[in-house]
Amino acid sequence: MSDVVKRSSVGVLFYFYGWLCEIVAIPRQLPSAWNVVGSDGDGDDDSRVRVEMDDARRLAKDCLRVVGREMGVVMD
């Protein structure tokens, strides 16, 4: 497993695996944050930035999917 962590482009997520599992398992509503998901335009001052609201549980699930895909065990 340590070899996978060293070779993987998302290896840092393996270190947080335990915490990510705990975040996903929390039954109550978690803190939310605004995330930039892209922008419309070419970077001028008039361009619009698209954002979306994410909560910690959804972000942790996404990270666990990436880890699972890297390990070859994701069931989509």
Domain boundaries, the chain: 2-41+48-71
Q: What are phi and psi of 13, to 5 degrees?
A: -65, -30
pLDDT digits (tens, 9 = 90+) for 5-53: 677 788 888 888 899 999 888 887 766 776 676 666 665 555 566 666 6
Q: Which helix (H) or strand (E) holds 58?
A: helix 56-71
- Quick one: residue 72, left, alpha or beta (phi over 0 = left, psi -120 to 50 = alpha)? left
The mean pLDDT of 40-68, rounded to a whole number, is 74
The mean pLDDT of 48-70, rounded to a whole number, is 80
Residue 15 has what pLDDT?
85
Query: Do the Cβ atoms of 55 and 39 come closer than 8 Å?
Result: no
Residue 31 has what pLDDT?
65
pTM here?
A: 0.60
